Amino acid sequence: MVKKLDKVDVVVVGTGWAGGIVSAELAKAGYRVVALERGKEKSTEDYIGVKDELRFTNRYEMMQDLSHETVTSRNTLDETALPVRTKDEMMVGTDLGGGSVHWSGAVYRWLPYDFEIYSKTVERYGKDKIPEGMTIQDWGITYDEMDKYYDRFEKTAGISGEQDPHPDAPKRSNDFPNPPMKETPNIRLFKEAAKKLGYHPFQVPSANMSQTYENPDGQTINQCMYCAFCSQYGCDFGAKADPIVTVIPTARKTGNFELRTNSYARRVLHKGGKATGVMYVDTVTGQEYEQPADVVVLGAFTFTNNRILMLSGIGKMYDPKTRTGVIGRNFNGQFNSAALGARGFFDDKKFNLYMGAGALGAVFTDLTGDNLDHTDLDFLHGGAVEIRQYGDGAIASNKVPDGTPGWGLEFKKNSIYYANRNLNVWFTPAIMPWWHNYTDLDPTYTDAFNDPLLRVTYRLKDQDRNIARFGIEKCREVLEEMGADIIDEDEVPEEFNHIYFGGHYAGGVIMGEDPDTSAVNNYLQMWDMDNLFVVGASAFPHFSNHHPTLTIGALAYRAAEGIEKYLKNGGGSLAENYSEQENRRIV
């Protein structure tokens, strides 16, 4: 039997950057906030001394248990989707802070071009440049409007970065709060080679602290020790900005915030066009609860935001056959064919690759967005060329040139010789949306509560393959200039192979100006239910060439501002021209 609890002002599903920021901002504003986290309570102390590559890199201890809930995957509409069952095929974070705790920490602002991608593409090249079936659209917000929210996240997370690193870099209202990370010899070599090729390299903006930092909320983030246990790990020094050391403590100290862990959200409850609360299960006791609230916020991972809306029957489901509807539309993200590149092996250079940090590296962005002329190119948008020094692990870093046997004397000889003589340069491309890439509920497979799993239908297009080949060639050019003696290029897959590696999944509850083609407005408020906000990468109509976290955080600050306006004004849509759009949709 469902137990009904006392009503609160706001209930938030998820405690990553999206849910954590919204919780902190509204609790600071004096509203009573309850946050539901499906995983366990965690703190920095839980990660002290756990530099265990086998547990975290090989066995993915910080990732979601896919035996309880996963996604099913297929390439085309006429195929039967099958469940993704192993953690090396899909990386989804869990526990307090979610994937924001085991992230690497690379943070980039997306481009002015991204937020107005349809308009700017048509303006420069004409409509015919957009391939049939590519569903790019403007986001309903501009970069200039996003600047202040980017700035807020950068200050909260204490981002370490170079000021004005590139002539085409997006303009900023303020400098980074911290100086960049250290420049190691291999990073310096990359920069020198890139400059010789005419590019403008700079240090990767990093949520790993270059110095001890106190953020505007009074939370201290410690200086990075370059210990190399960062990506797929929680930071035992408290030196990587994440919700556990920033927004969750900020929310707690207000006295207006309640965290409930082991709380698995199953439905948004609603009546008469309004959300009334969230139904969730305590996974320890099995008790079902109803948490009533004036405002409901889905601030979870992309898959969860999509699925809860579908299970709750909120919004019009996307139908790929008619190409109408919005919930599930424009699924996108950086996985599979993204982040390909080339690896160089050197005879006359050695590097200390066993120190590092998640976002220690260099990048150039001359080839991103519309910085290059696409008139004669067979793809839209672009990508960034990066080198990172994560800090090699003993198990995962045994790199040898292609053609080396997988065992025996030659393998042993090459693995020892090249252990400190190989560098990887990779390309992070933008991912464009297509009418046939979407999510819906699977008709066959269910989770532990007998609810349908989320089904992903996704296949590659020439756009994806062409942009990847372009990027790999640029990586080769850089490695040649760096002096690599052997260069092995990654292979571009012909089709998506159902491996969701990397954790950058987006879309399905996308933002925009038109309720016919978007699920939420630019405050991430549902068009169909004005007291329901869906916050996170699920709002991205397409995926830019950089990592998503900074844009997720910026949009979360935007959403928090909107929710506060909504509560102060006693309800209503926050979209200025909503009435005109709603009338057009009804007609």
Active site residues: 504
Q: Which two tokens stand for residue 141?
A: 């917000």
The Cα angle at residue 341 between residues 339 and 346, in degrees rounded to 5: 140
Strands 504-508 and 274-282: unpaired
8 Å CB contact between 222 and 241: no
C-beta separation of 333 from 544 below 8 A: no
CB 148 within 8 A of CB 477: no
Q: Are strands 33-36 and 257-260 parallel, antiparallel or unpaired?
A: parallel
For the chain, what is the total number of helices (H) and then of strands (E)?
Answer: 12, 22
How buried is residue 79: exposed, middle or buried, by Cβ count under 10 Å (0-12/13-18/19+)? exposed
To 10 degrees, what angle do helices 185-196 and 462-482 make?
A: 110
Cα–Cα dist 201/361, whole Å: 10
Measure the CA–CA gap between 568 and 561, rounded to whole angstroms.
11
Nearest to 294 by CA among 578, 569, 528: 569
User: Residue 14's closest CA among 216, 219, 248?
Assistant: 248
Q: What angle in degrees, to the nearest 10, is found between the helix axes of 549-569 and 17-28? A: 30
Residue keyed to tokens 């556990």: 244
Count of other CB atoms within 10 angstroms of residue 92:
24
Exposure of 450 by Cβ count < 10 A (0-12 exposed, 13-18 middle, 19+ buried)? exposed
Number of other residues whose CB lies within 10 A of the CB of residue 444: 12
What is d(CA 542, CA 332) in angstroms, rounded to the nearest whole number?
Answer: 6
